[in-house]
Structure 1
């Protein structure tokens, strides 16, 4: 229902094929840490987990509905008159891990040591665990905690940053269901999806805890002691705004045709004000249980979400900018711009903002923090607030 009224079927050809929607991207997805090599200057930082930290969608800076050329300057892979995603994702484009050059750990300023990004788009907690703990390889790579062990044996790892849990919760299925309910079934998704999330949340958070335990085990096996390194568990920023902050009306099809945010108001409000905060709260509880730091990112993209009223699409006369543009990738079927799996992930602007958040919490050796942006500023306006 929309307010108190049931959504009404509209007579209009669908722009998004049902077949494409039912196979919608894995929404969440995200190198080679200090045993014998404790002499590394400053200590290394290792980024682990899923797509929200691997750098998925870093190909894009803002969004544009222009489908040719540089897409109004938003496509960073447009080079020499063609498209080469490897200039952004390097060799990980072929595997689908999509570690971009603007990924959080790559964008963070002021980190004195080496940086390693072993996160992979689509990863679950099972792909983080050591093989000895039941971990599984993914996209041709060893479990991430085993990769961490190799890094830690040769580098003085001081910080491990982890983003995980979204794929365990079935985030992809949630997004797919909500898009289909807007485009195909003209009904709300949030009632059923809230039930699905509630059922999956305890198990997913238990798996996040297992992943933290496995990371600690890998570090201990390499000779690290408690207190010689730290783990920062982070939550997820909301890629879409609440309905009152959407620049497109709910009626008509501008949310699909131009905006790339095909969600009913009720589902948008649920996602922004219930789902994302609920996941953040659960992750913080798990971080506290395991004695690791927590970085709350749920409001990091406030005002820069896909279709936010305070942001805009890039055009030939209004090029993209980190102040005026969206910080998350809009929905694409993959037919005209990039790949489907990039949808609703932090784009290059968003990743630089998250990198600034990492820089800020890196300077805080203890404590839990929320990271937010400053209206009218780019990534340099990100600020930390201590959580009680």
Structure 2
């Protein structure tokens, strides 16, 4: 946790309590449509500008897109990592998140915006902190969120004014309590000197069936909206994606767990055992269950579990940004570290793909869309390369 660096153990524990109190948020007004880039002309299936739409939570909305790697420098542009820097000690998150700064956090580098020319228009309806109910139509149990109508209701307007070809969906992480899991595991390292994996696994197992039911209903709600707008199921595709791991395995962490460097320097306060559980048990469990939903609903599955391999926070294969190591997609971390004291930005940005990670996710989406709609694929990075090195592998 960045706020803990170079402090005593007692002060670290005090600030850890702040983390527990603050929590971490993981992860249609007309204005939202305009911010997303939706067209205004009357169109629909087969006519008008083609559109790619993203729906769901913070992992696809663009949370964390403000940051180009992580740096220990707290002043000015944070050694080139802070894209919201204006001048001196002035920062404007709206440079990255536009009118959604402090809310849905839809970044200018979000996956749907970084996917390139896969459609004429890119519309980002996803919202940081969203759960499945925020995707459902209001008429079928959907709930408004952060001043916006449920995302499926927003989609109806987009589908009427554009020829929607691709809908990318990332949902379920907040329903599962992913932010609480991260918080509890960080506190067990910083405060309680204990492991979190056993208790957390029990909680995941209790919740996951209900969570996946919500993911499946989200797909059904999207289908219902599109059919209501005159689209056939084969006239567009839904890409249902899983989540990447923002932290590495214990053996792949460049900081030892035997001192406070993971807390004070790296922003990755997790024990090796808990890190291994998150990377090799939790993330695959979620991915495999989402894959099952995709198969049951007949939509394309994009597996992102390995997207950040070697680029995670504290990974040995990546580096902090410094004056001698500039921000670069080839050397910097692709996920945002934990900044519990909010000395740099907001804590809700923690543990999300950053600017570099979002460019990579966009490339993954573009590659997936270039495949047949029935092709389930995983997306991985090439060591030492930028987002252009992303590649697909088949998922059985």
The TM-score, its normalising length taken from structure 2, stands at: 0.92
Aligned to 1:381: 389
Deviation at 1:69, TM superposition (A): 1.0
**Cα distance in 1 between the residues matched to 2:21 and 2:286:** 24
1:136-185 CA distances to partner (integer Å, 9 max, x unpaired)?
00000000000000100110001100000000101011011101100111
1:293-315 CA distances to partner (integer Å, 9 max, x unpaired)?
00000000000000000101011
Is contact 1:14–1:183 with CA below 8 Å preserved after alignment? no
Is contact 1:35–1:224 with CA below 8 Å preserved after alignment? no
1:261-288 CA distances to partner (integer Å, 9 max, x unpaired)?
0001100000000000000000000000
1:14-47 CA distances to partner (integer Å, 9 max, x unpaired)?
333413333221121xx43897463224x21000
The count of aligned residue pairs is: 374
Aligned to 2:372: 365
Closer, same or farther in 2 for the Cα pair 1:35/1:133, shift >3 Å? farther
Aligned to 1:20: 19
**Cα distance in 1 between the residues matched to 2:338 and 2:214:** 29
Is contact 1:48–1:160 with CA below 8 Å preserved after alignment? yes
Q: CA RMSD in A?
A: 1.3
Deviation at 1:238, TM superposition (A): 0.4
Is contact 1:62–1:325 with CA below 8 Å preserved after alignment? yes
Is contact 1:160–1:232 with CA below 8 Å preserved after alignment? yes
Q: Which moved more, 1:253-262 or 1:328-337?
A: 328-337
1:236 aligns to 2:233 (yes or no): no
Aligned to 1:350: 357
Is contact 1:37–1:154 with CA below 8 Å preserved after alignment? no
Q: Would you tell me which structure has more helix in proportion to its own residues?
A: 2
1:323 aligns to 2:330 (yes or no): yes
Aligned to 1:90: 98
Aligned runs of 1:196-235 on 2, under 5 Å?
Answer: 196-235=203-242
**Cα distance in 2 between the residues matched to 1:20 and 1:236:** 23
Is contact 2:16–2:191 with CA below 8 Å preserved after alignment? no
2:271 to 241, 264, 277: 264
**Cα distance in 1 between the residues matched to 2:25 and 2:44:** 38
The TM-score, its normalising length taken from structure 1, stands at: 0.94
Deviation at 1:130, TM superposition (A): 0.5
1:343-384 CA distances to partner (integer Å, 9 max, x unpaired)?
000000000000000110111132100000001100000001
**Cα distance in 2 between the residues matched to 1:253 and 1:363:** 45
Could you list the runs of 4 or more consecutive aligned residues of structure 1 that deviate by over 4 angstroms after TM superposition?
Answer: none
**Cα distance in 1 between the residues matched to 2:300 and 2:282:** 22
Contiguous gaps of at least 5 residues in structure 1: 1-10
Name the SS for the 1:233 alignment partner: strand
**Cα distance in 2 between the residues matched to 1:290 and 1:313:** 41
Name the SS for the 2:175 alignment partner: coil
Aligned to 1:39: 47
Name the SS for the 2:320 alignment partner: coil
**Cα distance in 2 between the residues matched to 1:334 and 1:47:** 31
1:64 aligns to 2:71 (yes or no): yes
**Cα distance in 2 between the residues matched to 1:151 and 1:271:** 37
Contiguous gaps of at least 5 residues in structure 2: 1-7
Aligned runs of 1:61-140 on 2, under 5 Å?
Answer: 61-81=68-88, 82-94=90-102, 96-140=103-147
Aligned to 1:4: none
